[in-house]
């Protein structure tokens, strides 16, 4: 077994340098080429606020930065879509942030992508916890890659203290990605509890030939 660790710093450009896992067949984001996404399986392991189990739909959060260009049908039915009740929309990817996770849904008929933001940090008085398991398929027939995403909100009012971890398990590799804010550089005391906080860097450990 080999172990490799490194720090991955994000530039802050959300268009080009955010971390996302996308189930896609072929080259991604190629002009004039119709996208072809693959369905991702999702299972909620833990969804709690202050020690009480809550429904995942309670974490759906209005997000102005994505609502302005999101399909109207998608917005109207986002609770049903999250529950898997709208079969014309399927989960195609996800994007972790310090305060929750974006879920990417795709409608093949419309050729459109919509995002649902789950804000694990909202309305937490003492402690919030969200763990989701994803199974991401591969177009070449390889076994799915399993991802376990977790966010723990330990100190309301200080999102830099949130614990955000993504673990990836494939045939011969295990990857652990811990997302972080810079506590010294970021003054987040004036931020709204409803605001999305993006990571500044990630601490990555990769195990190979396991």
DSSP 8-state code for residue 120: T
DSSP labels, 4-70: EEEEEE--S-TTTS---EE-BSSSSS-TT----B-PPEEEEEEEEETTEE--GGGGB---HHHHTTS
Which residue matches tokens 């529950």?
83
In tens, the pLDDT along 128-175 reads: 999 999 999 998 888 999 999 999 988 767 777 889 999 999 988 999
129 vs 35, higher pLDDT: 129
Q: Does pLDDT of 35 surpass 80? A: no
**Residue position matching structure tokens 């020690």:** 51
Give the number of residues written for the chain.
210
Check residue 15 and give its pLDDT.
57
- pLDDT number for residue 125: 83
Q: For 97-127, how does the pLDDT look when each residue is reduced to its tens digit (9 = 90+)?
A: 999 999 999 998 888 889 999 998 777 888 8
Q: Exposed, middle or buried by CB within 10 Å (0-12, 13-18, 19+), for 105?
A: buried
52-53 and 90-97 strand pairing: unpaired
pLDDT at residue 69, rounded to an integer:
61
For the chain, the distance separating the N- and C-terminal CA atoms, rounded to the nearest angstrom, is 5
Give per-residue pLDDT as tens, 46-73.
999 998 999 999 999 877 656 556 678 8
Euclidean distance between CA atoms 98 and 193, whole angstroms: 12
pLDDT higher than 80, residue 27: no
| Token pair 């972790």 in the structure block, residue | 96
Mean pLDDT, the chain, rounded, equals: 86
């Amino acid at each position: 077994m080999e172990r490799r660790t490194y720090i991955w710093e994000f530039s802050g450009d959300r268009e080009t340098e955010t971390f996302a896992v996308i189930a896609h067949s072929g080259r991604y984001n190629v002009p004039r080429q119709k996208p072809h996404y693959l369905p991702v399986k999702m299972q909620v392991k833990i969804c709690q606020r202050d020690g009480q189990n809550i429904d995942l739909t309670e974490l759906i959060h209005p997000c102005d930065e994505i609502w302005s260009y999101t399909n109207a049908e998608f917005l109207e039915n986002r609770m049903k879509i999250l529950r898997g009740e709208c079969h014309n929309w399927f989960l195609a990817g996800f994007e972790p942030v310090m305060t929750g996770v974006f879920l990417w849904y795709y409608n093949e008929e419309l050729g459109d992508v919509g995002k649902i933001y789950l804000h694990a940090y909202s309305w937490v008085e003492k402690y919030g916890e969200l763990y989701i398991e994803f199974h991401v398929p591969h177009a070449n027939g390889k076994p799915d890659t399993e991802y376990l995403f977790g966010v723990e909100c330990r100190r309301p009012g200080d999102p830099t203290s949130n614990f955000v971890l993504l673990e990836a398990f494939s045939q011969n590799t295990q990857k652990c990605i811990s997302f972080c804010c810079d506590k010294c550089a970021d003054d987040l005391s004036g931020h709204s509890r409803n605001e999305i906080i993006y990571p500044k860097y990630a601490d990555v450990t990769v195990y190979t030939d396991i």
